[in-house]
Structure 1
Amino acid sequence: MIMKSINPYLTFKGRTEKAFNFYQSVFGGDLQIDRYSDLDDNMGAVGDDLNLVANAALSLGAGTTLFGSDILDSTDQNLTKGTNFYINLETDTEKETRRLFDRLSAEGEVQMPLEQTGWAKKFGMLRDKFGIGWMLYYTG
């Protein structure tokens, strides 16, 4: 198995920018923030949700990045403290992405099927049978 990177991914309800500014003050590093209005595919965001953070990336060094985003009220997403994080896996091959996604989602819950997005050739989200959140992606 070949893995490009494994990174934590945090979700918030309208507090991602504040949280990531705090994390940057603690860890240092370069912070990049994209809003839903910045995306070609705004993931269903409308109204005030367009100003929320679609992706925050804080470089922590040694190939590790802390990622995060705000959930959208306009798409009925829910946030439960304690389950507002994911393990983000970037793979080297599309085949490996599919294999890991299928195995991790067995007896779990697929939250977003593995599909092409504006940022990846394949991306999907799931909770495994133990309740752990996973994001898998392959960029090519």
Structure 2
Amino acid sequence: MTNIDKIYKTYSKIMATVNIYLVFNGNCEEAFQFYKNAFGGDFEMLSKFGEMPPQEGQELTDEDKQKIMHVKFPISAETVLYGSDSLTPEQQVTFGNNFSISINANSKEEANSLFNKLSYGGSITMPLQDTFWGAYFGMWTDQFGINWMVNYDDPDKTQQH
């Protein structure tokens, strides 16, 4: 085991990971199928509200039983997207611009592929382009109201700065 491996093993036990949890107004499954199509892979977990044990005093409609209670979707070795649907009008989600999911691509081709797949049906706020900071970068809001960014740091360009 190298010194780097020892350090990682030590700190990985105390370091938090950051993942994104998305809440939807009834279209969580549709959104996650869309993300699955873009990234590939499989859901690690997908549970619907109808699968949970009955709660005294809380009857679910047939429509609510089909909503997603929890979905876990690994999109890389380090990152997992989580999601669920809200159940009641009091819990309805108001989509805004308070966050973005940021993707660091390993190549320009990967950046193009993810940008094209995930922006489909959405609104592009900044087309993919070379930037002054040496990256290939773009931003969009997908068809479900989620803000995204993709960035590829070209080693040939970023070394110049």
**How big is the shift at 1:56?**
1.2
- Structure having the larger proportion of residues in helix: 2
Of 71, 77, 80, the match for 2:94: 80
Aligned amino acid, residue 76 of structure 1: E
Matched positions, count: 85
Q: Secondary structure at the match of 2:19?
A: strand
Q: What is the correspondence of 1:6-25 to structure 2 with a 5 Å cutoff? A: 6-25=18-37
**CA–CA distance in structure 2, aligned partners of residues 24 and 18 of structure 1:** 10
Cα offsets for 1:28-83 (capped at 9, x unmatched): 121131101112376x561121210001111112132100000012x621210127
Match for residue 143 of structure 2? none
**How big is the shift at 1:13?**
0.6
Let me know the Cα RMSD of the aligned residues. 3.0
Match for residue 85 of structure 2? 70
* Closer, same or farther: CA 45–70 of 1 in aligned 2, 3 Å: farther
Aligned amino acid, residue 53 of structure 1: I
* Closer, same or farther: CA 66–76 of 1 in aligned 2, 3 Å: same
Match for residue 54 of structure 1? 69
Equivalent pairs: percent with the same residue?
35
Aligned amino acid, residue 94 of structure 2: T
Match for residue 129 of structure 2? none
Q: Which runs of 5+ in 1 are unaligned?
A: 86-140
Q: Which of the two has higher C-alpha Rg?
A: 2
Runs of 4+ in structure 1 over 4 Å off: none
